[in-house]
Chains A and B, each alone.
Chain A
Protein backbone atom coordinates (compact mmCIF):
# COMPACT_ATOMS: atom_id res chain seq x y z
CA UNK A 1 0.00 0.00 0.00
CA UNK A 2 2.77 2.43 0.94
CA UNK A 3 4.00 4.14 -2.14
CA UNK A 4 7.77 4.55 -2.37
CA UNK A 5 7.21 7.62 -4.48
CA UNK A 6 5.97 9.43 -1.37
CA UNK A 7 9.51 9.48 -0.04
CA UNK A 8 11.00 10.01 -3.42
CA UNK A 9 8.83 13.09 -3.91
CA UNK A 10 9.17 14.39 -0.34
CA UNK A 11 10.05 18.09 -0.47
CA UNK A 12 13.14 18.13 1.73
CA UNK A 13 14.00 21.69 0.84
CA UNK A 14 10.63 23.02 1.99
CA UNK A 15 10.87 20.94 5.14
CA UNK A 16 14.33 22.33 5.92
CA UNK A 17 13.06 25.87 5.38
CA UNK A 18 10.35 25.29 8.00
CA UNK A 19 12.88 23.83 10.42
CA UNK A 20 15.04 26.92 9.99
CA UNK A 21 12.17 29.30 10.63
CA UNK A 22 11.16 27.32 13.71
CA UNK A 23 14.69 27.47 15.04
CA UNK A 24 14.91 31.23 14.47
CA UNK A 25 11.58 31.59 16.27
CA UNK A 26 12.61 29.70 19.40
CA UNK A 27 15.98 31.45 19.47
CA UNK A 28 14.41 34.90 19.23
CA UNK A 29 11.86 34.16 21.92
CA UNK A 30 14.72 32.98 24.12
CA UNK A 31 16.49 36.26 23.51
CA UNK A 32 13.36 38.32 23.96
CA UNK A 33 12.45 36.96 27.36
CA UNK A 34 15.80 35.85 28.77
CA UNK A 35 16.95 39.40 29.40
CA UNK A 36 14.53 40.25 32.15
CA UNK A 37 15.94 38.52 35.22
CA UNK A 38 13.77 35.91 36.91
CA UNK A 39 10.63 37.03 35.16
CA UNK A 40 7.91 34.41 34.83
CA UNK A 41 8.16 34.75 31.07
CA UNK A 42 11.63 33.26 31.02
CA UNK A 43 10.38 29.74 30.43
CA UNK A 44 8.38 30.76 27.36
CA UNK A 45 10.94 29.49 24.87
CA UNK A 46 10.68 26.03 26.42
CA UNK A 47 6.93 26.11 26.01
CA UNK A 48 7.40 27.27 22.43
CA UNK A 49 9.69 24.24 21.89
CA UNK A 50 6.95 22.01 23.22
CA UNK A 51 4.46 23.64 20.86
CA UNK A 52 6.82 23.01 17.97
CA UNK A 53 7.21 19.40 19.07
CA UNK A 54 3.45 19.05 18.94
CA UNK A 55 3.36 21.01 15.68
CA UNK A 56 5.85 18.71 13.94
CA UNK A 57 3.99 15.70 15.30
CA UNK A 58 0.71 16.91 13.84
CA UNK A 59 2.49 17.76 10.58
CA UNK A 60 3.83 14.19 10.31
CA UNK A 61 0.39 12.76 10.95
CA UNK A 62 -1.14 14.91 8.21
CA UNK A 63 1.53 13.69 5.80
CA UNK A 64 0.23 10.16 5.96
CA UNK A 65 -3.32 11.10 5.10
CA UNK A 66 -3.80 11.84 1.42
CA UNK A 67 -4.72 15.52 1.20
CA UNK A 68 -7.46 14.66 -1.31
CA UNK A 69 -9.53 13.28 1.56
CA UNK A 70 -9.77 16.88 2.72
CA UNK A 71 -12.01 17.58 -0.25
CA UNK A 72 -14.49 15.07 1.13
CA UNK A 73 -14.13 16.28 4.70
CA UNK A 74 -14.16 19.97 3.85
CA UNK A 75 -17.66 20.64 5.20
CA UNK A 76 -17.09 18.49 8.29
CA UNK A 77 -13.96 20.45 9.19
CA UNK A 78 -15.66 23.74 8.42
CA UNK A 79 -18.73 22.98 10.53
CA UNK A 80 -16.53 21.78 13.38
CA UNK A 81 -14.65 25.08 13.40
CA UNK A 82 -17.86 27.09 13.16
CA UNK A 83 -19.25 25.23 16.17
CA UNK A 84 -16.10 26.10 18.11
CA UNK A 85 -16.55 29.75 17.15
CA UNK A 86 -20.15 29.66 18.35
CA UNK A 87 -19.02 27.98 21.55
CA UNK A 88 -16.58 30.84 22.14
CA UNK A 89 -19.46 33.27 22.16
CA UNK A 90 -21.24 31.36 24.89
CA UNK A 91 -18.52 29.85 27.05
CA UNK A 92 -15.43 31.66 25.86
CA UNK A 93 -12.85 33.13 28.15
CA UNK A 94 -12.67 36.85 28.10
CA UNK A 95 -9.33 38.58 27.79
CA UNK A 96 -8.79 42.24 27.09
CA UNK A 97 -12.39 43.03 26.37
CA UNK A 98 -13.11 40.30 23.85
CA UNK A 99 -13.91 36.61 23.93
CA UNK A 100 -11.46 34.68 21.78
CA UNK A 101 -10.42 31.72 23.83
CA UNK A 102 -11.98 28.37 24.53
CA UNK A 103 -10.79 26.39 27.53
CA UNK A 104 -10.34 22.69 26.78
CA UNK A 105 -9.00 21.00 29.88
CA UNK A 106 -5.50 22.28 30.51
CA UNK A 107 -5.09 24.26 27.29
CA UNK A 108 -6.88 27.21 25.78
CA UNK A 109 -7.46 27.34 22.06
CA UNK A 110 -8.37 30.16 19.78
CA UNK A 111 -10.85 28.79 17.21
CA UNK A 112 -10.31 31.81 14.99
CA UNK A 113 -6.91 30.31 14.03
CA UNK A 114 -7.99 26.91 12.58
CA UNK A 115 -11.01 28.49 10.87
CA UNK A 116 -8.58 30.11 8.41
CA UNK A 117 -7.42 26.66 7.30
CA UNK A 118 -10.97 25.34 7.22
CA UNK A 119 -12.08 28.22 4.98
CA UNK A 120 -9.14 27.61 2.64
CA UNK A 121 -10.03 23.92 2.31
CA UNK A 122 -13.71 24.59 1.71
CA UNK A 123 -13.08 27.32 -0.84
CA UNK A 124 -10.61 25.05 -2.66
CA UNK A 125 -13.35 22.46 -2.92
CA UNK A 126 -15.89 24.97 -4.22
CA UNK A 127 -13.60 26.55 -6.77
CA UNK A 128 -12.17 23.25 -7.97
CA UNK A 129 -15.67 22.39 -9.16
CA UNK A 130 -16.46 25.70 -10.85
CA UNK A 131 -13.04 26.63 -12.20
CA UNK A 132 -12.98 27.98 -15.74
CA UNK A 133 -10.79 30.20 -17.88
CA UNK A 134 -13.53 32.78 -18.20
CA UNK A 135 -13.62 33.30 -14.43
CA UNK A 136 -16.37 32.95 -11.89
CA UNK A 137 -19.67 34.68 -12.34
CA UNK A 138 -21.93 36.08 -9.66
CA UNK A 139 -24.00 32.90 -9.19
CA UNK A 140 -20.94 30.72 -8.75
CA UNK A 141 -19.62 33.17 -6.17
CA UNK A 142 -22.76 33.24 -4.12
CA UNK A 143 -22.13 30.06 -2.13
CA UNK A 144 -18.48 30.84 -1.27
CA UNK A 145 -19.54 34.30 -0.13
CA UNK A 146 -22.02 32.88 2.36
CA UNK A 147 -19.46 30.34 3.56
CA UNK A 148 -16.94 33.11 4.24
CA UNK A 149 -19.39 35.61 5.68
CA UNK A 150 -20.49 33.24 8.46
CA UNK A 151 -17.09 32.79 10.18
CA UNK A 152 -16.23 36.40 9.45
CA UNK A 153 -19.25 37.67 11.37
CA UNK A 154 -18.64 35.22 14.22
CA UNK A 155 -15.03 36.39 14.58
CA UNK A 156 -15.88 40.06 14.35
CA UNK A 157 -18.47 39.51 17.05
CA UNK A 158 -15.82 38.29 19.53
CA UNK A 159 -14.66 41.03 18.70
CA UNK A 160 -11.45 40.32 16.78
CA UNK A 161 -11.43 42.59 13.77
CA UNK A 162 -7.87 41.67 12.79
CA UNK A 163 -8.54 37.96 12.35
CA UNK A 164 -11.87 38.70 10.70
CA UNK A 165 -10.15 40.83 8.08
CA UNK A 166 -7.59 38.05 7.71
CA UNK A 167 -10.32 35.55 6.75
CA UNK A 168 -11.60 38.02 4.16
CA UNK A 169 -8.10 38.56 2.80
CA UNK A 170 -7.47 34.82 2.43
CA UNK A 171 -10.82 34.21 0.75
CA UNK A 172 -10.41 37.27 -1.47
CA UNK A 173 -6.92 36.27 -2.59
CA UNK A 174 -8.00 32.73 -3.43
CA UNK A 175 -10.99 34.01 -5.36
CA UNK A 176 -8.93 36.48 -7.34
CA UNK A 177 -6.47 33.71 -8.09
CA UNK A 178 -9.12 31.53 -9.69
CA UNK A 179 -10.35 34.61 -11.55
CA UNK A 180 -13.64 36.49 -11.45
CA UNK A 181 -15.56 37.76 -14.44
CA UNK A 182 -14.88 41.44 -15.05
CA UNK A 183 -18.40 42.73 -14.56
CA UNK A 184 -18.87 40.53 -11.49
CA UNK A 185 -15.67 41.93 -10.06
CA UNK A 186 -16.88 45.48 -10.54
CA UNK A 187 -20.19 44.66 -8.88
CA UNK A 188 -18.42 43.11 -5.90
CA UNK A 189 -16.19 46.14 -5.46
CA UNK A 190 -19.22 48.41 -5.42
CA UNK A 191 -21.12 46.22 -2.95
CA UNK A 192 -18.04 45.91 -0.77
CA UNK A 193 -17.61 49.67 -0.61
CA UNK A 194 -21.24 50.12 0.36
CA UNK A 195 -20.93 47.38 2.96
CA UNK A 196 -17.87 48.99 4.50
CA UNK A 197 -19.71 52.28 4.63
CA UNK A 198 -22.68 50.73 6.42
CA UNK A 199 -20.68 48.67 8.87
CA UNK A 200 -18.88 51.82 9.95
CA UNK A 201 -22.14 53.03 11.43
CA UNK A 202 -23.48 49.75 12.77
CA UNK A 203 -21.12 46.87 13.53
CA UNK A 204 -17.86 48.52 14.48
CA UNK A 205 -17.15 49.27 18.11
CA UNK A 206 -15.72 52.62 19.02
CA UNK A 207 -12.28 51.19 19.80
CA UNK A 208 -12.22 49.45 16.43
CA UNK A 209 -13.19 52.66 14.70
CA UNK A 210 -10.47 54.40 16.64
CA UNK A 211 -7.96 51.83 15.44
CA UNK A 212 -9.01 52.34 11.87
CA UNK A 213 -8.81 56.09 12.33
CA UNK A 214 -5.40 55.72 13.93
CA UNK A 215 -4.39 53.77 10.86
CA UNK A 216 -5.51 56.54 8.56
CA UNK A 217 -4.13 59.21 10.87
CA UNK A 218 -1.47 57.82 13.22
CA UNK A 219 -1.22 61.15 15.01
CA UNK A 220 -4.42 60.55 16.90
CA UNK A 221 -2.91 58.65 19.79
CA UNK A 222 0.68 59.72 20.38
CA UNK A 223 0.91 58.12 23.82
CA UNK A 224 -0.65 54.78 22.88
CA UNK A 225 -0.03 52.92 19.64
CA UNK A 226 2.25 55.64 18.34
CA UNK A 227 4.57 55.06 21.26
CA UNK A 228 4.85 51.33 20.50
CA UNK A 229 5.70 52.07 16.91
CA UNK A 230 8.40 54.55 17.77
CA UNK A 231 9.98 52.12 20.23
CA UNK A 232 9.77 49.35 17.66
CA UNK A 233 11.41 51.54 15.04
CA UNK A 234 14.19 52.47 17.45
CA UNK A 235 14.81 48.79 18.19
CA UNK A 236 14.94 47.83 14.51
CA UNK A 237 16.88 50.87 13.34
CA UNK A 238 19.44 50.62 16.12
CA UNK A 239 20.40 47.18 14.79
CA UNK A 240 22.03 49.02 11.87
CA UNK A 241 23.74 46.84 9.26
CA UNK A 242 25.21 44.04 11.31
CA UNK A 243 23.11 44.12 14.46
CA UNK A 244 24.03 44.38 18.11
CA UNK A 245 24.76 40.69 18.33
CA UNK A 246 22.76 37.83 19.74
CA UNK A 247 21.30 38.53 23.20
CA UNK A 248 22.70 42.05 22.99
CA UNK A 249 19.41 43.79 22.21
CA UNK A 250 18.76 46.55 24.69
CA UNK A 251 15.36 47.79 23.68
CA UNK A 252 13.64 44.52 24.48
CA UNK A 253 15.57 43.67 27.62
CA UNK A 254 14.61 47.00 29.08
CA UNK A 255 10.99 46.29 28.26
CA UNK A 256 10.67 49.30 25.98
CA UNK A 257 9.18 47.03 23.37
CA UNK A 258 5.58 46.06 23.85
CA UNK A 259 4.70 42.37 23.59
CA UNK A 260 8.24 41.66 22.51
CA UNK A 261 7.77 37.90 22.33
CA UNK A 262 4.53 37.92 20.36
CA UNK A 263 3.56 40.58 17.85
CA UNK A 264 6.77 42.61 18.01
CA UNK A 265 9.18 39.66 17.87
CA UNK A 266 10.52 40.80 14.51
CA UNK A 267 11.92 43.94 16.14
CA UNK A 268 13.90 41.78 18.59
CA UNK A 269 15.42 39.79 15.74
CA UNK A 270 16.15 42.89 13.66
CA UNK A 271 17.83 44.68 16.56
CA UNK A 272 20.18 41.82 17.29
CA UNK A 273 20.98 40.78 13.73
CA UNK A 274 20.80 44.10 11.91
CA UNK A 275 19.85 44.59 8.28
CA UNK A 276 21.75 41.45 7.29
CA UNK A 277 19.65 39.36 9.67
CA UNK A 278 16.33 40.97 8.89
CA UNK A 279 17.01 40.71 5.16
CA UNK A 280 17.83 37.05 5.67
CA UNK A 281 14.60 36.38 7.58
CA UNK A 282 12.46 38.28 5.08
CA UNK A 283 14.18 36.41 2.30
CA UNK A 284 13.39 33.07 3.98
CA UNK A 285 9.75 34.06 4.16
CA UNK A 286 9.71 35.08 0.52
CA UNK A 287 11.32 31.78 -0.40
CA UNK A 288 8.66 29.96 1.59
CA UNK A 289 5.83 31.78 -0.17
CA UNK A 290 7.22 31.29 -3.66
CA UNK A 291 7.93 27.67 -2.86
CA UNK A 292 4.31 27.31 -1.76
CA UNK A 293 3.13 28.74 -5.07
CA UNK A 294 5.48 26.38 -6.85
CA UNK A 295 3.90 23.45 -5.03
CA UNK A 296 0.57 24.72 -6.31
CA UNK A 297 1.93 24.80 -9.85
CA UNK A 298 3.45 21.36 -9.60
CA UNK A 299 0.19 19.85 -8.42
CA UNK A 300 -1.75 18.52 -11.34
CA UNK A 301 -5.32 18.63 -10.15
CA UNK A 302 -7.44 21.70 -9.31
CA UNK A 303 -8.31 21.01 -5.65
CA UNK A 304 -4.67 20.56 -4.65
CA UNK A 305 -3.59 23.59 -6.64
CA UNK A 306 -6.14 25.95 -5.18
CA UNK A 307 -5.67 24.57 -1.68
CA UNK A 308 -1.91 25.12 -1.94
CA UNK A 309 -2.51 28.69 -3.05
CA UNK A 310 -4.92 29.23 -0.12
CA UNK A 311 -2.52 27.87 2.49
CA UNK A 312 0.34 29.92 1.07
CA UNK A 313 -1.89 32.97 1.21
CA UNK A 314 -2.55 32.43 4.93
CA UNK A 315 1.17 32.57 5.67
CA UNK A 316 1.82 35.36 3.18
CA UNK A 317 -0.67 37.84 4.60
CA UNK A 318 0.32 37.23 8.19
CA UNK A 319 3.98 37.79 7.39
CA UNK A 320 3.33 40.93 5.37
CA UNK A 321 0.92 42.45 7.88
CA UNK A 322 3.01 41.66 10.93
CA UNK A 323 6.29 42.97 9.55
CA UNK A 324 4.67 46.04 8.00
CA UNK A 325 3.14 46.83 11.36
CA UNK A 326 6.40 46.45 13.25
CA UNK A 327 8.32 48.65 10.83
CA UNK A 328 5.64 51.31 10.86
CA UNK A 329 4.11 50.78 7.44
CA UNK A 330 0.77 49.68 8.87
CA UNK A 331 -1.27 50.15 12.04
CA UNK A 332 -0.87 47.90 15.06
CA UNK A 333 -3.52 45.24 14.54
CA UNK A 334 -2.47 42.33 16.73
CA UNK A 335 -1.15 39.79 14.24
CA UNK A 336 1.49 37.17 15.10
CA UNK A 337 4.46 36.52 12.83
CA UNK A 338 4.14 32.94 11.55
CA UNK A 339 6.78 30.51 12.87
CA UNK A 340 8.47 33.23 14.97
CA UNK A 341 5.93 34.69 17.38
CA UNK A 342 5.17 32.91 20.62
CA UNK A 343 1.78 31.21 20.80
CA UNK A 344 0.42 27.67 20.62
CA UNK A 345 -2.58 28.26 18.38
CA UNK A 346 -0.47 30.16 15.88
CA UNK A 347 2.30 27.54 15.79
CA UNK A 348 -0.09 24.61 15.39
CA UNK A 349 -2.08 26.35 12.65
CA UNK A 350 1.01 27.32 10.71
CA UNK A 351 2.44 23.80 11.04
CA UNK A 352 -0.81 22.32 9.76
CA UNK A 353 -0.60 24.65 6.75
CA UNK A 354 3.00 23.60 6.13
CA UNK A 355 2.07 19.95 6.60
CA UNK A 356 -0.70 20.07 4.01
CA UNK A 357 1.59 21.90 1.58
CA UNK A 358 4.19 19.14 1.97
CA UNK A 359 1.40 16.63 1.58
CA UNK A 360 0.29 18.17 -1.72
CA UNK A 361 3.88 18.38 -2.88
CA UNK A 362 4.70 14.72 -2.22
CA UNK A 363 1.58 13.48 -3.98
CA UNK A 364 2.05 15.58 -7.09
CA UNK A 365 2.64 12.47 -9.15
CA UNK A 366 -0.75 11.07 -8.30
CA UNK A 367 -2.76 12.83 -10.96
CA UNK A 368 -0.35 11.92 -13.71
Chain B
Protein backbone atom coordinates (compact mmCIF):
# COMPACT_ATOMS: atom_id res chain seq x y z
CA UNK B 1 0.00 0.00 0.00
CA UNK B 2 1.09 3.54 -0.66
CA UNK B 3 2.17 5.99 2.02
CA UNK B 4 -0.76 7.29 4.08
CA UNK B 5 -1.91 10.22 1.96
CA UNK B 6 -4.43 11.53 4.43
CA UNK B 7 -1.61 13.24 6.34
CA UNK B 8 -0.82 16.79 5.26
CA UNK B 9 2.50 16.97 3.41
CA UNK B 10 5.38 19.27 4.32
CA UNK B 11 5.04 22.80 2.89
CA UNK B 12 6.32 22.50 -0.65
CA UNK B 13 8.72 24.84 -2.47
CA UNK B 14 7.41 26.92 -5.41
CA UNK B 15 8.37 24.50 -8.24
CA UNK B 16 6.21 21.80 -6.63
CA UNK B 17 3.23 24.08 -6.31
CA UNK B 18 3.65 24.96 -9.98
CA UNK B 19 3.51 21.26 -10.74
CA UNK B 20 0.30 20.93 -8.74
CA UNK B 21 -1.18 23.76 -10.73
CA UNK B 22 -0.19 22.03 -13.96
CA UNK B 23 -1.72 18.72 -12.80
CA UNK B 24 -4.96 20.34 -11.74
CA UNK B 25 -5.04 22.39 -14.95
CA UNK B 26 -4.45 19.27 -17.04
CA UNK B 27 -7.34 17.47 -15.36
CA UNK B 28 -9.60 20.49 -15.86
CA UNK B 29 -8.65 20.68 -19.52
CA UNK B 30 -9.11 16.96 -20.05
CA UNK B 31 -12.51 16.74 -18.41
CA UNK B 32 -13.55 20.07 -19.92
CA UNK B 33 -12.82 18.61 -23.35
CA UNK B 34 -14.73 15.45 -22.50
CA UNK B 35 -17.77 17.49 -21.49
CA UNK B 36 -17.51 19.72 -24.57
CA UNK B 37 -17.48 16.64 -26.80
CA UNK B 38 -20.44 15.10 -24.96
CA UNK B 39 -22.33 18.36 -25.27
CA UNK B 40 -21.65 18.44 -29.02
CA UNK B 41 -22.88 14.88 -29.43
CA UNK B 42 -26.04 15.34 -27.38
CA UNK B 43 -27.06 18.92 -28.20
CA UNK B 44 -29.22 18.07 -31.25
CA UNK B 45 -30.95 15.16 -29.52
CA UNK B 46 -31.65 17.27 -26.44
CA UNK B 47 -33.13 20.08 -28.55
CA UNK B 48 -35.28 17.53 -30.40
CA UNK B 49 -36.51 16.07 -27.09
CA UNK B 50 -37.36 19.55 -25.79
CA UNK B 51 -39.33 20.23 -28.97
CA UNK B 52 -41.19 16.91 -28.61
CA UNK B 53 -42.00 17.75 -24.98
CA UNK B 54 -43.42 21.11 -26.02
CA UNK B 55 -45.41 19.50 -28.83
CA UNK B 56 -46.74 16.87 -26.41
CA UNK B 57 -47.88 19.40 -23.85
CA UNK B 58 -49.45 21.55 -26.57
CA UNK B 59 -51.24 18.63 -28.20
CA UNK B 60 -52.94 17.91 -24.87
CA UNK B 61 -54.58 21.33 -24.82
CA UNK B 62 -54.90 21.89 -28.58
CA UNK B 63 -56.69 18.86 -30.10
CA UNK B 64 -55.25 17.71 -33.45
CA UNK B 65 -58.56 18.19 -35.26
CA UNK B 66 -58.65 21.96 -34.91
CA UNK B 67 -55.37 22.87 -36.58
CA UNK B 68 -53.32 22.09 -39.66
CA UNK B 69 -50.22 24.09 -38.67
CA UNK B 70 -47.50 23.43 -36.10
CA UNK B 71 -48.40 25.61 -33.10
CA UNK B 72 -44.91 25.20 -31.60
CA UNK B 73 -43.46 27.45 -34.29
CA UNK B 74 -46.45 29.81 -34.67
CA UNK B 75 -45.90 32.03 -31.67
CA UNK B 76 -46.71 35.51 -30.44
CA UNK B 77 -45.27 37.30 -27.40
CA UNK B 78 -47.70 39.33 -25.27
CA UNK B 79 -47.21 40.79 -21.80
CA UNK B 80 -49.76 39.66 -19.19
CA UNK B 81 -51.32 41.85 -16.51
CA UNK B 82 -48.40 41.15 -14.17
CA UNK B 83 -45.93 42.39 -16.79
CA UNK B 84 -44.60 38.92 -17.59
CA UNK B 85 -44.10 38.17 -21.25
CA UNK B 86 -46.05 35.09 -22.33
CA UNK B 87 -45.39 33.04 -25.42
CA UNK B 88 -48.70 32.33 -27.10
CA UNK B 89 -48.91 29.30 -29.40
CA UNK B 90 -51.52 29.61 -32.13
CA UNK B 91 -53.48 26.77 -33.70
CA UNK B 92 -54.75 27.61 -37.21
CA UNK B 93 -56.93 25.89 -39.72
CA UNK B 94 -56.78 27.30 -43.23
CA UNK B 95 -54.88 30.30 -41.86
CA UNK B 96 -57.60 31.25 -39.37
CA UNK B 97 -56.68 31.08 -35.68
CA UNK B 98 -58.95 28.45 -34.14
CA UNK B 99 -57.40 28.33 -30.69
CA UNK B 100 -54.42 29.56 -28.69
CA UNK B 101 -52.35 28.06 -25.89
CA UNK B 102 -50.07 29.75 -23.39
CA UNK B 103 -48.39 29.11 -20.08
CA UNK B 104 -50.02 30.33 -16.89
CA UNK B 105 -48.49 30.57 -13.44
CA UNK B 106 -49.93 29.97 -10.01
CA UNK B 107 -48.61 29.89 -6.48
CA UNK B 108 -49.00 26.54 -4.80
CA UNK B 109 -48.06 25.15 -1.41
CA UNK B 110 -44.38 24.92 -2.32
CA UNK B 111 -43.70 27.69 -4.80
CA UNK B 112 -44.61 28.45 -8.36
CA UNK B 113 -46.63 26.08 -10.52
CA UNK B 114 -46.42 26.26 -14.29
CA UNK B 115 -49.45 25.23 -16.34
CA UNK B 116 -50.38 25.18 -20.02
CA UNK B 117 -53.80 26.46 -20.95
CA UNK B 118 -55.56 25.91 -24.26
CA UNK B 119 -58.52 28.09 -25.20
CA UNK B 120 -60.60 28.32 -28.38
CA UNK B 121 -61.38 31.56 -30.20
CA UNK B 122 -64.68 31.91 -28.34
CA UNK B 123 -62.88 31.84 -24.99
CA UNK B 124 -63.86 28.31 -24.01
CA UNK B 125 -61.22 26.20 -22.27
CA UNK B 126 -59.96 23.28 -24.34
CA UNK B 127 -57.78 21.97 -21.56
CA UNK B 128 -55.40 22.78 -18.76
CA UNK B 129 -52.28 20.76 -17.93
CA UNK B 130 -49.65 21.13 -15.24
CA UNK B 131 -46.15 21.41 -16.71
CA UNK B 132 -44.05 21.86 -13.57
CA UNK B 133 -44.70 22.12 -9.85
CA UNK B 134 -43.09 21.34 -6.50
CA UNK B 135 -46.22 20.30 -4.59
CA UNK B 136 -46.22 17.56 -1.98
CA UNK B 137 -46.02 14.11 -3.61
CA UNK B 138 -49.15 12.11 -2.89
CA UNK B 139 -51.18 15.19 -2.01
CA UNK B 140 -50.80 18.27 -4.15
CA UNK B 141 -49.55 16.34 -7.16
CA UNK B 142 -53.10 15.13 -7.91
CA UNK B 143 -53.26 18.19 -10.18
CA UNK B 144 -51.14 16.21 -12.65
CA UNK B 145 -53.23 14.45 -15.26
CA UNK B 146 -51.32 11.19 -14.76
CA UNK B 147 -52.15 11.19 -11.03
CA UNK B 148 -55.84 12.03 -11.28
CA UNK B 149 -58.59 13.52 -13.43
CA UNK B 150 -59.12 16.63 -11.28
CA UNK B 151 -57.54 18.92 -13.88
CA UNK B 152 -59.90 17.68 -16.62
CA UNK B 153 -62.95 19.28 -15.01
CA UNK B 154 -62.12 22.65 -16.54
CA UNK B 155 -62.60 21.53 -20.16
CA UNK B 156 -65.42 23.51 -21.78
CA UNK B 157 -65.66 26.16 -19.07
CA UNK B 158 -65.10 29.86 -19.70
CA UNK B 159 -64.85 33.20 -17.91
CA UNK B 160 -68.65 33.57 -17.52
CA UNK B 161 -69.30 29.89 -16.95
CA UNK B 162 -69.19 29.63 -13.99
CA UNK B 163 -69.33 33.33 -13.02
CA UNK B 164 -66.06 34.91 -11.93
CA UNK B 165 -66.77 34.77 -8.20
CA UNK B 166 -67.41 31.01 -8.38
CA UNK B 167 -63.91 30.26 -9.79
CA UNK B 168 -62.70 29.16 -6.35
CA UNK B 169 -62.48 25.98 -4.31
CA UNK B 170 -65.60 25.07 -2.32
CA UNK B 171 -63.87 25.93 0.94
CA UNK B 172 -63.56 29.55 -0.28
CA UNK B 173 -67.17 29.69 -1.48
CA UNK B 174 -66.51 28.61 -5.02
CA UNK B 175 -67.74 25.61 -6.94
CA UNK B 176 -64.67 23.42 -7.41
CA UNK B 177 -63.72 20.51 -5.15
CA UNK B 178 -60.43 20.70 -3.32
CA UNK B 179 -58.90 17.29 -2.73
CA UNK B 180 -58.35 15.56 0.59
CA UNK B 181 -55.53 17.14 2.53
CA UNK B 182 -54.78 19.87 0.02
CA UNK B 183 -56.58 23.17 -0.48
CA UNK B 184 -53.75 25.55 -1.27
CA UNK B 185 -52.67 23.68 -4.38
CA UNK B 186 -56.07 23.51 -6.16
CA UNK B 187 -56.79 27.05 -5.07
CA UNK B 188 -53.51 28.18 -6.68
CA UNK B 189 -54.42 26.34 -9.87
CA UNK B 190 -57.82 28.03 -9.94
CA UNK B 191 -56.28 31.48 -9.49
CA UNK B 192 -53.88 30.72 -12.33
CA UNK B 193 -56.68 29.59 -14.65
CA UNK B 194 -58.79 32.62 -13.79
CA UNK B 195 -55.91 34.97 -14.58
CA UNK B 196 -55.33 33.01 -17.79
CA UNK B 197 -58.96 33.52 -18.82
CA UNK B 198 -58.72 37.21 -17.99
CA UNK B 199 -55.56 37.43 -20.08
CA UNK B 200 -57.50 36.01 -23.02
CA UNK B 201 -60.37 38.45 -22.52
CA UNK B 202 -57.99 41.41 -22.33
CA UNK B 203 -56.02 40.46 -25.44
CA UNK B 204 -58.69 38.63 -27.45
CA UNK B 205 -58.47 40.82 -30.55
CA UNK B 206 -54.71 40.45 -30.80
CA UNK B 207 -54.78 36.73 -30.04
CA UNK B 208 -57.28 35.58 -32.64
CA UNK B 209 -56.52 38.17 -35.30
CA UNK B 210 -53.82 35.90 -36.70
CA UNK B 211 -51.45 38.44 -38.21
B is bound to A = no
- Taking Cβ atoms with an 8 Å cutoff, the residues of A that contact B are none
